[in-house]
A and B are shown apart, each in its own frame.
Chain A
Amino acid sequence: MASKMINLTIDNNKVQVPEGTTVLKAAKSIGVNVPNLCFHEDLSIYGACRLCVVEIEKHPRLEPSCATLAEEGMVVKTNSTRVRKARRMIVELLLANHPEDCLTCDRNQICELRKIAHDLGIRKLRFEKGRKYDYALDESSPSIVRDPNKCIQCGRCIRVCSEVQAVGAIDFVDRGGRTQVLTFLNKGLDNVECTNCGQCILVCPTGALREKTAVDDVWAAIDDPKKFVVVQTAPAVRAAIGEDFGMPAGSLVTGKMTSSLRRLGFDKIFDTQFAADLTIMEEGHELIGRVTNKGVLPMITSCSPGWIKYVEHFFPECLAHISSCKSPQQMFGAVAKTYYADKIGIKPEDMYVVSIMPCTAKKFEAERPEMNDSGVIDVDAVLTTREAARMIQEAGIDFTNMPDEDFDKPLGISTGAATIFGASGGVMEAALRTAYEVITSKTLEKVEFEQVRGMDGLKTATVDVDGLELKVAVANGLANAKVLLEQIAKGESPYHFIEIMACPGGCLGGGGQPIPTNLEIRKKRAAALYREDEGMPIRKSHENPAITAIYEEFLEKPLGEKSHHLLHTSYTKRERY
């Protein structure tokens, strides 16, 4: 049924919107973008920055358009003298409390506050004598740095952490001008339930949240003649990094990315997708084993380090459900420093493995004490998509005009199944492609499993594997994962296999991806990955010739002794605060 329509007037224009539409949205529908800061389309209404105030006839005061529903006959002015005066004053007040280090700020070109200050014509600060805070940075986390001095208290990080991720690692503490966004007892992000997912970074309008950068470590390794530096790139990076060079969302730039990384000076350009195919071999066999030997079910994927830390904190009783497979990043590091190092005659300690990830939690994952199975740290440095883009910018590489180049062999060889790891449902689909053929020994004709694709937070499907009804579920965003975990904890989960990705949309919406990241952009990145899959000559992990080779030459068989040592891991119960 069509919802009731509301007629109102905005800036002398007649507007018709469905009942329940906010004035902010109604204004947008006629091309008026009312400036705002605390509003975010993925989050609940907060109505606190007051920047989006508008004048509404018969209302004694200005009203926040984000929190005011359009009403029949409403007469709204978004651009009156009174509104402009209020908006400017509010921005002036925010700036009076904000460091003036825009030139060196991480958000230099993409800061929402800076843009609004510019757009509203703020050229002079009248509260210049005001005190500035000098809060200590929270640098405890290996993934995320919080700079409270740049916080404008919009609460977007708090809302994404509790509403989208069901974590609640941060909240407002104290009141008035002394209000701060803090962790429990100010223990620091590394010492509370923070999963390092970095969604807070994506929604932060200023430079108050950023990744802990590894750029200089990577430059130092590249410049060190004694180091053989290899780089691996996660699937989701190729569908997003172009955005940081002004390309439209959904641009697939695998070849340009590869050539740019080669120009940066990496010795070998490899692909995490190789390790994704390896993951499917190991995880697929683990699943088959659990199903046939009545092991712990449902089995849940383990690729997403934010998800892993979440379950370690919140559902430690469910740890036996998590696949023992390391994530592709860590599998890559472990085989690069053993299998590949041995192949080219380099000692593991002379090899430096860099990952380019759409993810901030990968930085934490690489530092986990159990990730040293090659004898040294398996992955030396993790860069987010944004950091990789910055290095390319720093080197003056004209990314958009770079030629397309291929990955190096053998750890750059991969399949379409690995590409879709970057989208929610992709690991599931890749696993099903392989599991079907391994279990049935038949060829899977239609490789697409549409039921597990798309941006829905929770997706379920029943897959007929030659008579075996495999029940599967896919969750993205930890609040959705929580629903599946609660079922498991109660012993009511009907599924055999579950894929969970910490971030909305999967890795393509990861906390290390270009800013902005929103639903529309996530959809376009997903489409790019599925496009890449479609164009790949091989679309099933077990058909990857490099995978066949590594088992023949080195690992012997999935879940074999070497695999157990290098490719599998264990988990740790963590505290709640």
Chain B
Amino acid sequence: MKVILKNIEKEGYDGSIASYISEGGYEALKIALKKTPEDILSELKKSKLVGRGGAAFPTGMKWEFARNSKETPKYVVCNADEGEPGTFKDRLILENDPHMLIEAMAIAGFTVGASQGFIYIRGEYFKAYDVLTAAIEDAVKNNCLGNNILGSDFSFNISLYRGAGAYVCGEETALLDSLEGKKGQSRVKPPFPTFVGYQNKPTVLNNVETLSNVPQIILNGGDWYSKIGSADCPGTKLYCLSGDVKKPGVYELPTGITLKELIDTYGGGVDGKLKAVLPGGVSSSFLAADQLDVKMDYPSLQKAGSMLGSAAVMVVNDTHCMVDLAKRCTEFFDYESCGKCTPCREGTKRAREIFINMSQAAGEATDIALLKELQDVMYDTSRCGLGQAAMNAAGSAMDKFPSEFEKHITKKNCELGICPMEKV
């Protein structure tokens, strides 16, 4: 069952507006423009679609909040700042089927009552930026964007905005600050963007993948979508499979398939002997090799002590040292913390230092307890998801592979010979 990659995986499909239209593109927009916004909201709610950026918030509810907000103007913002390490699904859509996203944004604009949309695109996505620029132009030329879209009273424009390379701008309120030309830092929530968003106006902010589901939901109905995949979190999901796996890539599969199926059936199996899996990027917690039966949807992974996040599934074989991986993950967050709140700014810095010490034979017996306490406080007090999740991977590595850490700290020994185990 393909909802999002339906066109892309077709032989000869080139993502142009002509090929998009020949595959039934912009039909959903035509239908939507004849419906009432309430009807569209109702279909969306029936579909049980939830945000695919990681937070899994019900999309229908989000749009309804924005629609019911009294303030005007309203905005639609697409979060295309795909920055989670191991995530490369949105890029596939942006580069190969841009009109699906444009159509979805126009539907969102019509539904919530917005006439301006923004795509906030990761700064390093050069090709996707060029493709989108051309696609927006083509859409305007074909009256799928701009004034009086497809002969209706509805007008909607999309502007592209490039990020400057900050991971935190994937966090929705930091993204909005950046979009406004400020330094990208999270805002105090509540109020949420659906009430106080871009320029303090009601704003629907959706991930690329989330929006890409919308045209098919309009065409086939919310009930149809809700029957795909697992019942409590239906639909398909784009899984980004990478690491020690034979066939890495983006796989669109119904939610609720197991991690084992994903790796073995689609990814061609583990390259080497499986040690651990990060199922949702570096913000998620490691799963051990005996947890492969977990279903790959939001609630199931949460129950398993991790999270689906952006579904960046990174497979780790037994040639990797968990101390080294924990160190790399915390280095990433130290580098990417926006620096606004104390626990994240200072916490990521200290965690990184402690793991570096461990890898250089300078670990101390109290390190593990201190890091666990730091993890708790960072989760409990950080302003946004970045700091709250920054210690997930490192913390779970310590939980699931305690003896490796123990050996680094007390025996000053990295059995795999990866950590330098001397001052560098």
Contact = CB atoms under 8 A, between A and B. Distances in A.
A479 B195 CA distance: 28
Which of B339, B346, B373, B382 has the largest count of A CB atoms less than 10 A from its CB?
B346
B61 interface: no
Interface string B327-358: 00000001111111111011111100100010
Given A50-B383, A61-B379, A179-B345, A130 B353 contact: yes
Contact of B188 (A45, A90, A176, A178): A45
A67 B383 CA distance: 11
B166 A48 contact: no
Nearest to B335: A176
A67 B188 contact: yes
Interface string A59-99: 00110100100000000000000100110011001101100
Contact of A93 (B335, B347, B376): B347
Which of A85, A130, A177, A178 has the largest count of B CB atoms less than 10 A from its CB?
A177
Nearest to B349: A177
A176 B337 contact: yes
Please report whether the interface of chain B is mostly helix, strand, loop or mixed according to DSSP: helix
Given A130-B350, A176-B339, A50 B345 contact: no
Interface string A148-176: 00001100000000000000000110111
Contacts of A67: 188
B370 interface: yes
A176 B366 CA distance: 26
A517 to B, nearest CB: 25
A97 B350 CA distance: 10
Given A61-B388, A85-B377, A48 B342 contact: yes
Nearest to A61: B380
A82 B350 contact: no
A40 to B, nearest CB: 15
Contacts, number: 101
A50 B337 contact: no
B348 A90 contact: no
Contacts of B340: 48, 153, 179
B382 A50 contact: yes
B348 A53 contact: no
A45 to B, nearest CB: 7
Interface string B356-387: 01000000001000100110110111110000
Contacts of B348: 176-177
A368 interface: no
A94 B376 CA distance: 17
Given A50-B383, A61-B388, A126-B370, A89 B377 contact: yes
A164 B357 CA distance: 45
B380 A172 contact: no
Nearest to B167: A175
A47 interface: yes
Contacts of B336: 175-176
Contact of B381 (A50, A152, A153): A50
Contacts of A171: 183
A97 B334 CA distance: 14
Contacts of A442: none
A176 B379 contact: no
Interface string A122-148: 000011011100000000000000000
Nearest to A50: B381
B420 to A, nearest CB: 17
A168 to B, nearest CB: 12
Given A45-B188, A175-B338, 10 more contacts: A48-B342, A49-B342, A67-B188, A82-B380, A89-B374, A93-B347, A129-B353, A130-B350, A175-B183, A176-B336
18 contacts: A47-B188, A61-B379, A85-B376, A85-B377, A93-B347, A93-B350, A97-B349, A127-B370, A129-B357, A153-B339, A153-B340, A171-B183, A175-B183, A175-B337, A175-B339, A176-B345, A177-B334, A177-B345
Interface of A: 45, 47-51, 53, 61-62, 64, 67, 82, 85-86, 89-90, 93-94, 96-97, 126-127, 129-131, 152-153, 171-172, 174-179
